[in-house]
Amino acid sequence: MTMPLPLSARGCPVLHGAVFAAQPNAVYDQLRAQGPAGWAEIAPNVHALVVTQHRAAITLLNDTRTYSKDSRLWADLANGKAPQDSPVLGMMAFRPSVLYTDGDEHARLRQAMDDCIARIDPHLLREITRRSALTLIARVIGEGRADLMSDFADVVPMLVFAELLGCPAEMTSRMVRACQDLISAGPEAAQGAADFAGLLFELIQLRRARPGQDLTSWMINHAAKLSDEEALNQLFCAVGAGIIPVAACTAWTLHLLLRDDDYAGHLAAGTLTVRRAMEQALWQRSPMANFSVHYARHDTHLHGVYIPARVPVLISHAAANTDPALPKNLGYDNRSHLAWSAGPHRCPAISQATTIVQTSVETVLDQLWDMELTSPDPEPLLRHGPFHQCPQTLPVKFRPKSSDRLPVNALAGGSS
């Protein structure tokens, strides 16, 4: 059933809330009617320009002279017109990290981020992911039913990150709880962010005293000589930028494999099929739906649209990927989608994210036999925020088995 699309008090499409979550594509069409970029309300009383055209998105993402990522430029936030407790500030307020910096400062922080991410051993990452996935599968395998979001896709990346960060075992459950609050987009999100930052601070102190082979130790000892505040915010950014998109991408890949006739009967075909479904999901269901926030340094035009200085301009990776002007037969193997963004802030962890998603999907398909989605609705409801395209739930049933038959039963995680 389609619902009437509301407009904000300023007459703009509403890119958050229940109606957007139920019919995002209709809202993207409303935005497209305004041209390559259009105004939207992204939270109560917060308006932004949103780029929906693929070509315009590429232009903006590569034009670092005109556009900055530094949200201290955001005029309405600086002058108090934007609500100071808006739920979008968790993702948009300035932090000293790669995500909010430009030019030389960005290059310095990005080098540290790239070098630390590059030190993650791909085999170990696969093993950690598989172990984390099996730990979660063990909790539901006897039940015959599960919610693949809350029981699986949401939690695998949290367990993986806890281990990559070098979290001692006793900190892992605190970290998972803080992450769950952080990604809730509800009233507990601000507390979750504060708890998570507190845990990272503890971890930094611990790894200063006792360095290990983990992201935290590598970040604080990097040649770029980051301050504790910078190191903390870099790690916060990696986890904040990583957890929900990985969960969403895992969910959409599984959704395609379980629902789409093109994949039916190929579930046992393994890695190639999973990879193909993941690439299709990245095109059609960009996990980071609307983000890559920029601010024009001066009034300008983008492909004919007037862009005033110092207002947030978001890239709709979701709408750009489904831009009707794109050639019809591009094919999903073509990598020109914008799910990872483009330009200097393009995701630095593409191969690591791919490994986590692919391994999680392969492991769950290997272990939960005859799995079927149980919701009669072919389109899962999305979470309500503007930034991520992520199902709220993904209920499934499968043939129950005893958890003794799992290859590994130990709880994941934890270094000393």
Q: Which of residues 300-319 bind ligand HEM (CB under 6 A)?
A: 317
Region for 330 from its dihedrals, namely left if φ exceeds 0, alpha if ψ lies in -120 to 50, beta otherwise: alpha
By rule CB under 6 A, what count of residues binds ligand HEM? Answer: 28
Considering the complex, what minimum distance in angstroms separates the CB of residue 91 from ligand HEM?
9
Q: In 327-396, which ranges are continuous DSSP H helix?
A: 350-367
- What is the C-alpha to C-alpha distance for residues 270 and 257, in angstroms, rounded to an integer? 11
**Nearest CA to 349 among 99, 156, 70, 63?**
99
- What is the C-alpha to C-alpha distance for residues 163 and 343, in angstroms, rounded to an integer? 30
Number of continuous H segments (helices) and E segments (strands) in the chain: 15, 10
Please identify, using beta-carbon distances, which residue of 8 and 359 lies nearer to ligand HEM: 359
CB 122 within 8 Å of CB 350: no
Considering the complex, what minimum distance in angstroms separates the CB of residue 27 from ligand HEM?
19
Residue position matching structure tokens 């995701």: 347
- The 8-class DSSP code of residue 386 comes to S
Residue 278 neighbours by CB under 8 Å, 6+ apart: 249, 253, 354, 357, 358, 361
91 is a site residue for ligand HEM (CB under 6 A): no
93 is a site residue for ligand HEM (CB under 6 A): no
* Among the residue ranges 126-134, 144-152, 348-356, 361-369, the one whose residues contact ligand HEM (CB under 6 A): 348-356
Considering the complex, what minimum distance in angstroms separates the CB of residue 330 from ligand HEM?
18
Please identify, using beta-carbon distances, which residue of 347 and 373 lies nearer to ligand HEM: 347
8 is a site residue for ligand HEM (CB under 6 A): no
Q: Strand 395-397's sheet: what is its strand order?
A: 145-147, 395-397, 372-373
- What is the C-alpha to C-alpha distance for residues 7 and 134, in angstroms, rounded to an integer? 45
The first and second tokens of residue 44, run together, are 């109560």
Please identify, using beta-carbon distances, which residue of 204 and 320 lies nearer to ligand HEM: 320
156 is a site residue for ligand HEM (CB under 6 A): no
- What is the C-alpha to C-alpha distance for residues 260 and 278, in angstroms, rounded to an integer? 13
* Among the residue ranges 6-14, 201-209, 291-299, 370-378, the one whose residues contact ligand HEM (CB under 6 A): 291-299
Considering the complex, what minimum distance in angstroms separates the CB of residue 203 from ligand HEM?
16
Considering the complex, what minimum distance in angstroms separates the CB of residue 110 from ligand HEM?
5
- What is the C-alpha to C-alpha distance for residues 341 and 165, in angstroms, rounded to an integer? 25
CB 248 within 8 Å of CB 388: yes
* Among the residue ranges 26-34, 203-211, 254-262, 336-344, the one whose residues contact ligand HEM (CB under 6 A): 336-344
- What is the C-alpha to C-alpha distance for residues 347 and 238, in angstroms, rounded to an integer? 10
CA quadruple 109, 112, 116, 119: dihedral, nearest 10: 140
* Among the residue ranges 110-118, 146-154, 221-229, 398-406, the one whose residues contact ligand HEM (CB under 6 A): 110-118
Quick one: which of 67, 152, 252, 291 contacts ligand HEM (CB under 6 A)? Answer: 291
353 is a site residue for ligand HEM (CB under 6 A): yes
246 is a site residue for ligand HEM (CB under 6 A): yes
Quick one: which of 15, 19, 51, 99 contacts ligand HEM (CB under 6 A)? Answer: 99
Quick one: which of 207, 255, 285, 345 contacts ligand HEM (CB under 6 A)? Answer: 345
**Nearest CA to 177 among 203, 160, 159?**
159
The first and second tokens of residue 145, run together, are 């039913």
Considering the complex, what minimum distance in angstroms separates the CB of residue 116 from ligand HEM?
9
290 is a site residue for ligand HEM (CB under 6 A): no
* Among the residue ranges 36-44, 253-261, 351-359, 386-394, the one whose residues contact ligand HEM (CB under 6 A): 351-359
Please identify, using beta-carbon distances, which residue of 357 and 361 lies nearer to ligand HEM: 357
CA quadruple 363, 368, 371, 377: dihedral, nearest 10: -70
Quick one: which of 134, 241, 307, 320 contacts ligand HEM (CB under 6 A)? Answer: 241
Considering the complex, what minimum distance in angstroms separates the CB of residue 72 from ligand HEM?
15
- Footprint on this chain of ligand HEM (rule: CB under 6 A): 98-99, 110, 113, 117, 237-238, 241-242, 245-246, 249, 287-288, 291-293, 317, 339-341, 345, 347-349, 352-353, 357
